[in-house]
Amino acid sequence: MTGDVGEATAASFLRSALAADSAVFPLAGFPAWLERQREQQRLEVRRIPFAALDQWHFAPDPCRLVHRSGQFFSVEGLRVETDFGPVRSWEQPIVNQPEIGILGIVSRSFDGVRHFLLQAKVEPGNIAGIQLVPTVQATRSNYQLVHGGRSPTYSEFFLQPGRARVLVDRLFAEQGARFLRKRNRNVIVDVDQDFPVEEGFVWLTLGQVGQLLRVGNLVNMSARSVLSCALPALDGANALAGLAAPGPFGASLLESLQAPGGVQSQAELLDWLFGLRARHRMRLQAVPLDRLRGWVRAEDEIRPESSAHFSVVAVDVTAVGREVARWSQPLLLHPATGLNGLLVQRIGGVLHLLVRACLFPGNDELFQLGSTVSRADVDKLAGAPDAPAFLEHFIAPPPERVRYDALQSEEGGRFLRYQSRYLVVELPQGQAVDLPANFRWMTVRQVATFNHFGCVNIEGRNLLACLDFSA
Amino acid sequence: MTGDVGEATAASFLRSALAADSAVFPLAGFPAWLERQREQQRLEVRRIPFAALDQWHFAPDPCRLVHRSGQFFSVEGLRVETDFGPVRSWEQPIVNQPEIGILGIVSRSFDGVRHFLLQAKVEPGNIAGIQLVPTVQATRSNYQLVHGGRSPTYSEFFLQPGRARVLVDRLFAEQGARFLRKRNRNVIVDVDQDFPVEEGFVWLTLGQVGQLLRVGNLVNMSARSVLSCALPALDGANALAGLAAPGPFGASLLESLQAPGGVQSQAELLDWLFGLRARHRMRLQAVPLDRLRGWVRAEDEIRPESSAHFSVVAVDVTAVGREVARWSQPLLLHPATGLNGLLVQRIGGVLHLLVRACLFPGNDELFQLGSTVSRADVDKLAGAPDAPAFLEHFIAPPPERVRYDALQSEEGGRFLRYQSRYLVVELPQGQAVDLPANFRWMTVRQVATFNHFGCVNIEGRNLLACLDFSA
């Protein structure tokens, strides 16, 4: 009764976040293990013209880039019109992959500390080869075996009733700027029994994952998204009273996770978010991929006429190592390094995060909550008149104000070596900040509550996963 | 800091709910006032053939019933396919009205008690003529003056910044079984100054509204929907400690609104709701209104071939009284009396509500939370093999177990004399109940929290507004 399960789970997540190492798999052994995985899984990736794609072609009416099977995903053209923001209409390519997939992590208690089973996996777009991904990453076609083959390892824990206890099960949107209405289940289950751990899988505490998140480009985007759910909210936050963080920033995070209110109440924050959703409009229209206004279709690239932004390219992939395979596929190329930045500040003694309401064409719901700044093309914008709000705080932040700084990359199955600098910067107490209408200060508990209701976008979720309770 | 505004507002709502009468407008004077309104606003409504509609006609490709201006709403044909529930595919007419309107109530404190300004208004589909509606009911075309004319009375409090303080601002879906993706802002504002109250408007406490809700067919559906937001959630519920209800059921409601948890934690309830959303599918396809499978288009009615269910009809309306006007329009006719029923039970000492996850074609989001049973065609289903779960508890409930019982009607601007019996029935403590997969027991606080995040459907919101804290 009265939320015991939710509170016990929440406490187990936070205790795991405070466990910086573990005897189950000590981090000291991680570099050697990673090296072994890298040897076993390598991909050779080279760009090719679209005409050299094996199973992919441009289908007509309207022109779009599709797989011969009709499965996987397609790249389509989209026209966007809105009454919000500095740019009111544009055209762009977008990835259409309407299936809901599973991003699932198996967890288990060892000596009273919850560990999470992650998998070493290589994707063609990855920067450093192997990354740690959820226990299971499966599209609906995957796990329903539409393409034949065997079901993904450990998928039974997510698909067969009674095999595991669900701790978190959410439906979250992917990048709304690049995917059209793509959503995935983000699931964490508890397995209360021994089972064989296959080569390439590893049990880690959240504190260990936190150490690896500091390295950069090691814990993939999907894993970060799922782990954002480990920040408890609602009744879960009641259970944290006995916990203590080793350092001042972690202590601020824990306090903010338990604070009963913030500079605004949750009710006022809902007023603000729903008010934006009610007042603004976005209209989408399919357009042929070869006639996108402002874009050029070349032999090996669909790219913007002017800016750097992003382009659609094709790659040929050869897997070498224990398995040999070869395929080709489209990927999205972002030539610049992006920025995913979060400003935080102690206000009234409680740490607050500066959250931005974002409108992206691919999201079902107008306006989700995101980080303070998230931009692909940030390099050229610093100091420009159309620079995004608060960008200046992330250009050369004083080192003593930086609470997190690492390069993290987007999902390597769709993005070709696209990385962003993730930065958490703390403003001095009392420094006044003018808030544009689509920004609000929120406590960690308030952001986590919005996250559990599916209102935080993937950039925001990824930064939540990088908040370091051990700092 | 720390949610003062949210808590103070929440407490003011609950204190108003406990104020059963008021010197501002004593309920003793209500019958005479209502009679006067009835004399001033009367509508004569008679059914006519579609061909006799003045500004409306059947447009082709695909066939649908539209207004000549392209404004207002249209009635279209829809094919629905889903993998959930006993009926997996069907076709039906549906109302398409894509604008987001405002349902706004102005509130003000008199002698420390919050009062709400409601308006007496007649709609062609109303059963007893006049009903009390929100201060402002306006479509976007209304308040943007697309059709010319003057803006709705008091709309400045919702449209002009700084004229009022927003207490609640939410975006809620309308009936998903009859409207395609129709959503309205549900807003309550506070006005801290005198202003002239025009004829036809009345200041009432929530406790007084509660008395009028017991009469039935007096407080309209939109007002009930907005007032459901007066049930606080999240940080708001912290402020209720000092309040006491006069009777045992009201006391149970107050306790349940402050309970820290329930038989399941909020986190587990989110798992359940998102799990349903992730696992199930619904596919919609536009079909011509004159070729709906299972429907007959007659001269004056589009009706189902077999069952009673609902039909599309046309009416001619003449307004008599202070203004004279005449128009014609389509309406939806439901020949039977519906049921909107909620089971409640004390479990572990805390009152819980039996909530059903509902899937309706017109809702943006698969699965919203609704009342235990809501059906238009309930009369013929009692005891039938396809009767909805828990229907038996509402057929002849023992009077000592009934916590609310009144006839309430749907919005008279779209529905012709369609009323449902609203019932709240309390099960004895300890009586075991088997829960189908799409049902959950929740505390009032948990349901109110889902409501503030936009996850409760209009049938559920309407019953929340009828929970009587003075009982």
Q: Is A267 helix (H, G, I), strand (E, B) or coil?
A: helix
Q: Is A220 helix (H, G, I), strand (E, B) or coil?
A: coil
Chain A hits for B350, CB-CB cut-off 8 Å, are: 1-2
Cross-chain CB nearest to A267 (options B235, B347, B350): B235
Indicate which of A136, A170, A235 best probes the interface with B, i.e. most B CBs within 10 Å of its own CB: A235
**Strand A56-59, strand A64-67: pairing:** antiparallel
pLDDT at B1: 39
E-strand ranges in B62-204 read 64-67, 74-82, 89-96, 101-110, 113-122, 130-133, 136-138, 165-173, 179-180, 183-190, 201-204
Q: Which of B273, B428, B289 is nearest to B355 (CA)?
A: B273
> What backbone torsions phi and psi does residue B210 show, to the nearest 5 degrees?
-60, -40
Chain B residue whose CA is closest to A349: B1
Cross-chain CB nearest to A278 (options B7, B100, B264): B100
Contacts 24+ apart (CB under 8 A), A60-64: A62/A286, A62/A287, A62/A288, A62/A289, A63/A288, A63/A289, A63/A290, A63/A291, A64/A96, A64/A288, A64/A289
Chain B residue whose CA is closest to A171: B274
- CA dist., res. A21 & res. A212, Å (int): 11
Chain B hits for A259, CB-CB cut-off 8 Å, are: 2
- For residue B152, give how far its alpha carbon lies from the nearest alpha carbon of chain A (Å): 18
Cross-chain CB nearest to A267 (options B9, B171, B267): B9
Q: How many CB pairs under 8 A join A and B?
A: 158
A171/B235 Cβ within 8 A: no
Contact present, B100 and A278 (Cβ < 8 Å): yes
- For residue B318, give how far its alpha carbon lies from the nearest alpha carbon of chain A (Å): 34
Chain A hits for B4, CB-CB cut-off 8 Å, are: 261, 265
- For residue A72, give how far its alpha carbon lies from the nearest alpha carbon of chain B (Å): 18
- CA dist., res. B432 & res. B438, Å (int): 17
A365/B261 Cβ within 8 A: no
Cross-chain CB nearest to B170 (options A183, A262, A270): A270
Residue type, A354: L
Indicate which of A171, A172, A347, A440 best probes the interface with B, i.e. most B CBs within 10 Å of its own CB: A171
pLDDT at A322: 57
Cross-chain CB nearest to A265 (options B236, B263, B270): B236
- CA dist., res. B270 & res. B60, Å (int): 43
HEC assignment per residue over B123-147: CCCCCCCEEEECCEEECHHHHCCCC
pLDDT at residue B97 greater than cutoff 70: yes
Mean of the per-residue pLDDT values for chain B?
92
pLDDT at residue B154 greater than cutoff 90: yes
pLDDT at A323: 65
Cross-chain CB nearest to A235 (options B183, B238, B267): B267
A3/B274 Cβ within 8 A: no
B168/A100 Cβ within 8 A: no
B449/A185 Cβ within 8 A: no
- CA dist., res. B11 & res. B462, Å (int): 21
Higher pLDDT, B364 or B250: B250
Helix (H) or strand (E) holding A82: strand A74-82
**Model ipTM value:** 0.86
Residue type, B344: V
pLDDT at A147: 57
pLDDT at B8: 85
Q: Round the CA-based radius of gyration of chain B to a whole number and report it.
A: 22
B6/A265 Cβ within 8 A: yes
Cross-chain CB nearest to B266 (options A183, A235, A260): A235
Chain A residue whose CA is closest to B263: A1
Indicate which of B169, B256, B279, B429 best probes the interface with A, i.e. most A CBs within 10 Å of its own CB: B169
pLDDT at residue B25 greater than cutoff 70: yes
Q: Beta-carbon neighbour count of residue A383 at 10 Å?
A: 9
Chain B hits for A228, CB-CB cut-off 8 Å, are: none
Cross-chain CB nearest to A265 (options B3, B265, B350): B3
- CA dist., res. A203 & res. A376, Å (int): 33
Chain A residue whose CA is closest to B348: A1
> What backbone torsions phi and psi does residue A104 show, to the nearest 5 degrees?
-125, 135
Average pLDDT over residues B297-314: 91
Chain B residue whose CA is closest to A268: B6
pLDDT in tens, B33-49: 999 999 989 999 999 99
- For residue B185, give how far its alpha carbon lies from the nearest alpha carbon of chain A (Å): 7
Specify which residues A183 forms β-bridges with: A173
A5/B265 Cβ within 8 A: yes
Structural domains of chain B ordered from first start: 7-44+98-243 (3.90.79.40), 46-96+284-333 (no CATH), 257-282+335-466 (3.90.79.40)
Specify which residues B180 forms β-bridges with: B96
- Token readout for B233 is 């959630």
Q: Predicted confidence band at B323 (pLDDT cuts at 50, 70, 90)? A: low
Chain A hits for B7, CB-CB cut-off 8 Å, are: 261, 265
> What backbone torsions phi and psi does residue B300 show, to the nearest 5 degrees?
-125, 15
Chain A hits for B185, CB-CB cut-off 8 Å, are: 274-275, 278
A4/B260 Cβ within 8 A: no
Higher pLDDT, B117 or A147: B117
Q: Beta-carbon neighbour count of residue A366 at 10 Å?
A: 20
The ranges of chain A with pLDDT < 50 are 1-4
Q: Which of B116, B331, B94 is nearest to B206 (CA)?
A: B116
- CA dist., res. A110 & res. A114, Å (int): 6
pLDDT at residue B356 greater than cutoff 50: yes
For A437-471, give one letter per residue: b (16+ CB within 10 A) or e: ebbbbbbbbbbbbbbbbbbbbbbbbbbbbbbbbbb
Chain B hits for A6, CB-CB cut-off 8 Å, are: 261, 264-268
Cross-chain CB nearest to A453 (options B169, B272, B453): B453
Chain A hits for B452, CB-CB cut-off 8 Å, are: 266-267, 270
Chain B hits for A240, CB-CB cut-off 8 Å, are: none
Indicate which of B265, B276, B280, B350 best probes the interface with A, i.e. most A CBs within 10 Å of its own CB: B265
Chain B hits for A268, CB-CB cut-off 8 Å, are: 5-6
A454/B266 Cβ within 8 A: no
Chain B residue whose CA is closest to A6: B265
Cross-chain CB nearest to A262 (options B3, B260, B264): B3
